[in-house]
Amino acid sequence: MPVDDEFGGLLDRESVLAGGVPARRANTVLFLIENRTAQLVERSRHVMDRFHSQENVEERELAFLEAFAVGNEPPLRPKIQALERYAPQWASLVPRNPRVQAAIAHRLGEKYGFAHDSIPGIRGALGLDNAAVQRAYQRLYNQPLDSIFTPRATLGERLRWAWATLGGWLENRPPFWTAYALTLTETVGVTILALPIAVAGIGPLAGVAILVALGVINVLTIAGISEAVSRSGTIRYGSAFIGRVVEDFLGRAGSIMLSLGIFVLCFLVLQAFYIGFASALQGATGLPAMIWVVLLFLVGLYFLRRESLSATVASALVVGAINIVLVVVLSLLAFTRLRPENLLYVNVPILDGKPLDPEVLGLVFGVILTAYFGHLSVSNCARVVLRRDPGARSLLWGTAAAQVTAIVLYSLFVLAVNGAIAPEALSGEVGTALDPLAADIGPVVYVLGSVFVLLGLGMGSIHYSLALFNITRERLPTLVRPVVTLPRRQGTLLFSERKRDGLRLGLVYMGLRGGKPRFRLDIASEGSPQRVETTTAGSWEVLGPNGDPSLLARLPRQDGHGSQLTLEVVEADQQRVRLQVTSSMRTAYEGEPDTSGLDLAGVLTLSDSEAGLISWITRKGRVNLAEAAEYVGRDEDATRTLLGS
């Protein structure tokens, strides 16, 4: 496995497996730990993305797999806080060998700065509190193990550790509260600022009645979606993508309708967000609205380039909690200016002979329904909750309780604002309710409202821009060219056409035969599954203009004839093969990435003498039991037991 020069150059099998080289073995283990942690961090950064697709996630997974394959640094370099956060997930990579554990600790101390009390998870995973590891460190480096710890953290480091601690605490709340908090923070957004304007024409009491009625309907609908999501194998055993759930229940047509609906929604909501953001900040700062539009657009382009807003569970909960507190504070300020005549104003169409005004009713119902729009976040919420509560009761009751709380918050805000401001003043607004509220109460509304607008409208516009970008990119044909490593008979490369019932292929490496790599290709198409085995040493065009005739003859109709798939062998041995993949099909990897050479994770758990035996067998190529017994200095029965273990 080639690794960065920072790790000491190339590590061949002999240098890795040979006993008595703890530093090299530690570098290799740390390489694996950092890659696994980086992959977990990257997943956490997208867990709360709105409307993300399976294809986008698979592309990110392939990027990490390619980093494994070529021995490069991962696309995202983890910080020490992330290593501590995910210590339970990478602890199995650490061998129970005091010398190697001590060497890993030494490399960590060289690369990162941390205090003793900040890393209980890392200390436990590496056994740093174990006397044997401490003695091994003293022998290897002629200094105590405590020398790897920094005596005092800087202010910035203390803040990063505080955020990491808060994030870990938030993400480990009981499942019910996780479902409740995530659904509530995703539902109660900046649309609340438009509710007083929407209901101003009919009066606050009538508006609250409609809010409650539609809210109860939304409680039932979100409970139904939670039930459907919890019963979906796509969510439980795959990835949490609402589009896949819709496709499973309603077919390809339902999935296309969902994509079109989300596209239209994102396009329209973005316009509303830009107008609301610009008008609110223009009132607060006096700068022209166009400046704020351009600024928000540039910020959106920046995050589109990064393809991420780092929407972790913790960040979503913190931002959502701040927004809800701001809503409550603004409501309390508005109640100080409550006027009964405003609160009792009623102008409901049809009642008392009043004419029906479709424009007013459309505004009322449209804004209220948009305010309750948080149902698609249930799939993201399920990804977090179902792992800890497979029975899904927490998901069902948590999402329903969040909608009930949203009804209360919306009603509170409407009664407060519409009770404080005359209906004719609100009806003429085209942005948010902040301007008339600030005119009545004072500049403090602009201060609180600006924070709410920045966190709500600003971040919301970036979320919807990313969603629009992802939906558009998913529908465009693209070629992927990752370099991946397949271990023999373990990992599988999966290729699938974009249509629902299209061709699906699974590639498995079978080892060398006659000095050439041999592959098994599993074909899933119409009819019974089929299997093809072939040997190739160079480039294999599976599908395309010059596709494999033996494979194409097995495919019904036009399956695979419009797709491209070419595999080029870069390097191969008996244990694994490295491939350059060129494909227009969706590409994913199934199995644990293994790029470390001769099952490194298992080999590194051996003692130095056992690792030396493996190294000797590897160099010899083939040995019999008598030769192995002579090498280790034991009888044949003891040697057979040793080799069996």
Q: What is the per-residue pLDDT across 547-574, written as a single tens digit (0 to 9) for each?
A: 777 776 666 655 556 678 888 888 888 8
Give the H/E segment covering residue 603: helix 600-603
Say whether pLDDT at 353 is over 70. no
- Tokens 């997930």, residue located: 89
Within a domain: 597 = no
| Alpha helices per DSSP H over 286-432 | 289-306, 313-335, 340-343, 358-371, 377-385, 393-420, 423-427
pLDDT at 7: 32
| β-strand pairing of 492-496 with 565-572 | unpaired
CA angle, corner 24, sides to 19 and 28, nearest 5?
Answer: 110
pLDDT at 68: 59
624 alpha-carbon distance from chain centroid: 49
Predicted confidence band at 333 (pLDDT cuts at 50, 70, 90)?
very high
User: How do residues 423-464 score in pLDDT, each as one tens digit?
Assistant: 888 887 776 788 888 888 888 888 888 888 887 777 777 777
Say whether pLDDT at 258 is over 70. yes
| β-strand pairing of 530-535 with 516-524 | antiparallel
Check whether residue 194 and residue 129 sit in a common domain: no
The whole domain housing 101 covers 5-161
Flag the least confident range among 53-67, 146-160, 361-375, 398-412: 53-67
pLDDT at 13: 38
Check whether residue 195 and residue 129 sit in a common domain: no
| Residue ending a domain, choose from 475, 491, 511 | 475
Say whether pLDDT at 598 is over 50. no
* Three-state DSSP class for residue 510: strand
Most confident among 485-494, 522-531, 586-595 (mean pLDDT): 485-494
Predicted confidence band at 5 (pLDDT cuts at 50, 70, 90)?
very low
Check whether residue 445 and residue 566 sit in a common domain: no
Within a domain: 376 = yes
Query: In the β-sheet with 565-572, what is the strand arrangement from edge to edge?
Result: 483-487, 576-583, 565-572, 539-543
Within a domain: 168 = no
Question: How far is the C-alpha of 560 from the C-alpha of 502, rounded, in Å?
Answer: 8
Check whether residue 341 and residue 442 sit in a common domain: yes
What are residue 580's DSSP bridge partners? 483, 568
Check whether residue 550 and residue 628 sit in a common domain: no
Predicted confidence band at 599 (pLDDT cuts at 50, 70, 90)?
very low
Check whether residue 98 and residue 236 sit in a common domain: no
- Number of domains composing the chain: 4
Check whether residue 469 and residue 500 sit in a common domain: no
Say whether pLDDT at 410 is over 90. yes
Flag the least confident range among 317-321, 463-467, 499-503: 499-503
Portion of the chain with pLDDT greater than 70, in percent: 78
Structure tokens at 610: 């056992």
Within a domain: 183 = yes
Q: How many residues does the chain have?
A: 645
Check whether residue 503 and residue 630 sit in a common domain: no
| Residue ending a domain, choose from 430, 457, 475 | 475
Most confident among 334-338, 359-363, 379-383, 439-443 (mean pLDDT): 334-338
Q: What is the domain-level CATH number for residue 584?
A: 2.60.98
pLDDT at 597: 41
What are residue 493's DSSP bridge partners? 507, 589
Name, in order, each residue with C-beta under 8 angstroms of 129's C-beta and a sequence gap of 6 or more: 123
Check whether residue 562 and residue 624 sit in a common domain: no
Within a domain: 65 = yes
Check whether residue 137 and residue 196 sit in a common domain: no
Predicted confidence band at 73 (pLDDT cuts at 50, 70, 90)?
low
Say whether pLDDT at 413 is over 90. yes
User: How do residues 117-135 score in pLDDT, each as one tens digit?
Assistant: 888 999 999 999 999 999 9
Predicted confidence band at 267 (pLDDT cuts at 50, 70, 90)?
confident
Within a domain: 169 = no
The count of other CB atoms within 10 Å of the CB of residue 525 is 19
The count of other CB atoms within 10 Å of the CB of residue 84 is 23
Q: Do 598 and 618 contact (CB within 8 A), yes or no? A: yes
Most confident among 164-178, 413-427, 538-552 (mean pLDDT): 413-427
Give the torsion sign (CA, 323, 325, 328, 331).
negative
pLDDT at 19: 37
Predicted confidence band at 47 (pLDDT cuts at 50, 70, 90)?
low
Check whether residue 610 and residue 584 sit in a common domain: no
Question: How far is the C-alpha of 259 from the C-alpha of 246, rounded, in Å?
Answer: 10
| Residue ending a domain, choose from 590, 621, 636 | 590
User: How do residues 91-107 score in pLDDT, each as one tens digit?
Assistant: 888 888 888 889 899 98
pLDDT at 328: 92
Rounded to 5 degrees, φ, ψ at 505 are -125, 145
Within a domain: 292 = yes
Say whether pLDDT at 600 is over 60. no
Check whether residue 498 and residue 613 sit in a common domain: no
Within a domain: 315 = yes
